[in-house]
Each structure stands twice: as C-alpha cells, then as structure tokens.
Amino acid sequence: MSKDLILLLLALSLALASCSTGPHEQIPAAGTVYTYQSSRIDTSQSPTVSLRVTKDSKNFSANISRRIEAVGFKILENSGSPDYYADVDYKTYFDVVHQTFVYFQIDLIDAKSGESKIRLRYVGGTYSSYGCNTALDMVFKQLSKVKNGTNGT
C-alpha cells in the first residue's frame, strides 16, 4: 500500500473512533446494548405502539416496526391512541463494508403517564464490526428478554 493510502486509512479510523456517542458516554471495545428499565411491559395483549423516529436518515422505520411487532407489540399506524410510544434516535456511518451504528436508542414510553418504561441503547464499539442489522438483532433480543420484567443479562 502506498504511504498516502495508509495515512488516509489511519485518519479515517481516528475520525470514526472520535465520533460522539452521547454526553459523557464511554465507547466500549465491542458493540454493547445498555438497558434502563423502570418497570415491566405486559405484551400478552399486544399493546399498541406509535413509532417516533427523530431523524430517519437511513430509512430504518419499516425494519424497526417489524422488530417491534416480533417481540409482541402492534404498530399503530395513524389512527387511535397508542399504549406506548417508541422513541428512536440513531447515528450511523459507513465502515467500508456496511452501514454501522455509532449508537441506536429506543425508548418505550407509556402514552398515558409519559413514563419511560424501557430504554435500550446500543453503542458501537471501538473495534466493533457489527452492521446495523446485527446491532438491531442485539437490541431487540434484549427487549424480548426485559419487556416482561426479566433481567435479560
């Protein structure tokens, strides 16, 4: 490889490693899902969810909706009042092979009380090679474990 190409790759990896994941958040070595849970969510009656994505620059809404339904919720399209809001925020980058998350966060909020019931946050690691689909698999696997109050770890 030429010296210029090596310098360019080094500069790109330093730039990606310095991407902000959030205020005061340490970047783990590998992609990690963090769970914050105030109370359980009973999905036995398929509660309705209204998906609210901060900025869906990579068009993940349909993918996220399918995954929410797969863990026991029903997506509420445009009519009626939902049981929960699923607030989603994410930031991605392209790592030469695939689209990767710097972070992905989903917050399930009780529509009546405004209380955040479960928040899951994926943080891509410094040495992580997970694409967005693998990261979403990790997040929704964890959601399926914790929604009914089990520890999930």
Q: What is the Cα–Cα distance from 88 to 106, expressed in whole angstroms?
A: 5
CB atoms within 10 A of CB 56: 14
CATH of 28-146 among 3.30.160.670, 2.40.50.140, 3.40.50.720, 3.40.50.920: 3.30.160.670
Measuring CA to CA, which residue among 122, 132, 130, 131 is closest to residue 21?
122
What value does the mean pLDDT of the chain take?
84
What are the tens digits of pLDDT across the range 78-97?
778 999 999 999 999 888 78
Average pLDDT over residues 114-130: 89
Q: Using the 8-state DSSP alphabet, how is residue 113 labeled?
A: T
Average pLDDT over residues 23-34: 77
What are the tens digits of pLDDT across the range 14-25?
444 445 445 555
Beta bridge partners of 116: 109
- State pTM to two decimals: 0.79
Task: Judge whether 51 and 73 are in contact, CB under 8 Å.
Answer: no
Domain limits of the chain? Answer: 28-146
